[in-house]
Structure 1
Amino acid sequence: MSGIDVDEFGSLVERPEAGVRRDSQERWARLVAPAGALGRPAELADWLAAVQGVVPVRPITRPRVLVFAGDHGVAALDVSVRPAGSAVELARAVLDGTAPVAVLARQYGATVRLVDLALDCDEAELPADVTAHRVRRGSGRLDIEDALSAEEAEQAFRTGMALADEEADSGTDLVLLGDLSVGGTTVAGVLIAALCGTDASVVTGRGSGIDDLTWMRKCAAIRDGLRRARPVLGDQLALLAAVGGADFAAITGFLLQAAVRKLPVVLDGVVSAACGLVAQRIAFRAPDWWLAGHVSGEPGQAKALDRISLEPLLDFSLHTGSAVGALMALPLLQAAAALSAELPDPKAAAEADAGPGSEPDPAPAV
């Protein structure tokens, strides 16, 4: 189907530095007593040490919020509180600084980058740098047709890879990954149910706050999407073309190339978890470079994160997208990095006091 050999990611993605992680763990034993006193922050510092390849951890100084945006044809089935094709309104709020993610990014010192992959609006309605990577306008209705053509799926996947390279080359040291769409949780439900071998009802959540009747429509749409997904489960790009969307294909490409580039990523909600599940099928080591920011309340997210062995950092009952949950985890990661970098190390202090080339004091005469 594609000119991309996704199997190459299996060999290109390496694991984070296990030896460095052990050095970090041993260092905590000297820094803090009793053992394990700093709990999860110390574990996060060990992860940061492994992905950075250095002990003590370097401070997180250039965090980037990266939000992938797109509309989905399945929204025409009234599976969301928001009307189909209205994600552009959410995008404008991010751009004008009034969206929750923009407020928190200012508070935490992160920059926000919004990327339009498939918003259902005229390109002239948004800045050129936002629409520069658009693959198409909206997507096909996954219950009756492919969301993307094979060529569009490849283009979106390559766009995600290119964005990972751009962020790594620009000095970004942590990505807070988000999505912005209408119909996206339905798409995520199809992918997760297909890859986990579960029924639609198991992964159908309340998304934007839907009522029971809307939930039933959403569940039916996921069930119909599953019928179209199962025949292409062995080909991840074909799967993304059949029942995904340009934003999903781009996020998947981004996650894989970020792992290749050793760029750590914090996932947000069910959409990034679904893309992570697809990416894991391509390169099983890739999840070692990711963290799960929070519990979104979507049953599909819990299913996907369990499959890729990621435990969410926070449970604040957040039910919004756009990387808000991932961004809420940033202060915890910054605290972990600061503790690793700034707590005094008795061993290092003793070596500094001894000076280069110094000999140990002779044993006292008996």
Structure 2
Amino acid sequence: MDLPSITSLSQIAKLADRLPEADQKAAIAARERQNSLTKPPGSLGRLEEIAEFMAAWRGTPRPRIDRAQALVFAGNHGICAQGVNPYPQEVTAQMVANFRSGGAAINQLCEINGADLSVIALELDRPTRDFTEAPAMDESECLDALWQGASSVDASADILILGEMGIGNSTVAAALAAACFGGPVAEWVGPGTGSDKAGIARKIAVIEKGLRLHADCLGKGAAVLAALGGREQAAICGAVLAARAARIPVILDGFICTAAAAVLYAADKRLLDHCLVGHVSSEPGHRKLLAAIHKRPILQFDMRLGEGSGAALALGIVRSALACHNGMATFAEAGVAEA
């Protein structure tokens, strides 16, 4: 199905009742196949769980990945006016050029793990507003970015990898997480691209100021996206929703990507049921965020690069899970006696 029209952020909370759910019959059939393969039941651990997950969302007992799509969204942020970023905003556009010329980590990881990468730059010459002074985006700007993300999803893909790039967006991510799930701001804030102790303290103070200004949005799901988010965060939300409409499983990347998608969880926790998390970032807020949205990461490699790098690496694990699921012989096929 196509993603239902979204003309206001308040409609996002109602989408879960209209979007596809997991196919439990396909999941059960996948589990039955797992239990018939030439191995002790459960001996492949999470590989078996991932195969069942893919079966449920692709709606077939023997899912395949013929096309993996990777999307990296890039945006710039007005909050950088507060000195929260150790690198200048020009780096966002420079890294987009690097992605497009094939020179970044995400290019190598997509190539080796078989994903088609697209990089979408979202008005880099027009940063969002400083959220300590005004909403980062008005509703129409936020919805426009959301739909750009949604329209970037290829409905023929079998799995979607999501990543981001944007100087200052670790501050945005921490602000979104704090707005959605509460708790001391300091517990959500980390070094990002390399902030020192003073830089981290500055990020905490800036986020606290923004939360006070936008207190009426706190705990209201998608409303925080316009108040505190960036265009790449809105685009990630749109891509997650479009993938759900097309029954495409999603692999989220690290803290920033997960924080963007967590806005959907705050609106209705069912909206992330089709999402895996590729890895747990070494950015300190990520573990807390994963606990809040009840997601278990596939990998723990102490990465914090962003770009979708952890999600692309995890794609190799998902491919391995399906290779075992589809390629192994059953006990009957192999002529092996069952216990």
TM-score w.r.t. the length of structure 1 is 0.85
Among 294, 312, 322, the alignment partner of 1:327 is 312
CA shift, 1:256, in A, is 1.8
**Aligned match of 1:35:** 41
Tell me how far 1:230 sits from its aligned partner.
2.5
What secondary structure, in the 3-state scheme, does the structure 2 residue paired with 1:98 have?
coil
- Please state how far the C-alpha of 1:174 moved relative to its aligned partner: 1.0
Q: 1:3 aligns with which of 3, 7, 22?
A: 7
Between stretches 154-163 and 247-256, larger displacement belongs to 154-163
User: Is 1:196 aligned to residue 216 of structure 2?
Assistant: no
Larger radius of gyration: 1
Task: Give the 5 Å matches for 1:249-328.
Answer: 249-328=234-313
Q: 1:266 deviation in Å?
A: 0.3
Matched, 1:53 2:59: yes
- Residue type at the aligned position of 2:83: D
Cα distance change on mapping 1:41 and 1:186 into 2, 3 Å: same
CA contact 1:70–1:87 (8 Å) conserved in 2: yes
**Following the alignment from structure 1 to structure 2, what is the Cα–Cα distance between the partners of residues 304 and 347?**
44
Cα distance between partner residues in 1 of 2:103 and 2:232: 23
Pick one of 25, 49, 63 that aligns with 2:31: 25
What secondary structure, in the 3-state scheme, does the structure 2 residue paired with 1:48 have? helix
Range 104-113 or range 91-100, more displaced: 104-113
For 2:282 and 2:271, locate their aligned partners in 1 and report how far apart those are by CA, in whole Å: 24
- Specify the SS of the correspondent of 1:65: strand
CA distance in 1, matches of 2:261, 2:296: 13
CA distance in 1, matches of 2:169, 2:207: 11
SS in 2 for 1:178: strand
Aligned equivalents of 1:144, 1:100: Cα separation in 2: 35
Q: Is the 8 A contact 1:10 1:282 kept in 2?
A: no
Matched, 1:12 2:1: no
Spell out, residue by residue over 1:132-191, the C-alpha distance to the aligned partner (whole angstroms, 9 max, x if none). Answer: xxxxx1111111222112221121122222223xx11xx211111000000111001011
- How many residue pairs align between the two structures? 328
Name the counterpart of 2:142: 153
Aligned equivalent of 1:102, options 99, 107, 113: 107
Question: Take 2:218 and 2:83, find their aligned partners in 1: how far apart are those partners?
Answer: 27
Aligned to 1:74: 79
- Matching residue's letter, 2:121: D
User: CA-atom RMSD, angstroms?
Assistant: 1.8
For structure 1, which segment, 72-81 or 174-183, has the greater mean C-alpha deviation from structure 2 after superposition?
72-81
The residue identity in structure 1 corresponding to 2:62 is P
Are 2:50 and 1:44 aligned? yes
**Aligned partner of residue 315 in structure 1, secondary structure:** coil
Counterparts of 2:196 and 2:291, CA distance in 1: 27
Cα drift, residue 40 of structure 1: 1.4
Structure 1 equivalent of residue 321 of structure 2: 336
Provide TM-score, normalisation by structure 2: 0.91
For the residue of structure 1 that corresponds to 2:295, the secondary structure is coil
Contact 1:188 1:274 in 2 (8 A): yes
**Displacement of 1:237 after TM fit?**
4.2
Q: 1:298-323: CA deviations, max 9, x gaps?
A: 23222222122111111111120100
Give 1:86 shift: 2.6
- Aligned ranges 1:106-255 → 2 under 5 Å: 106-120=111-125, 137-164=126-153, 167-168=154-155, 171-233=156-218, 235-255=220-240
Is contact 1:228–1:243 with CA below 8 Å preserved after alignment?
no
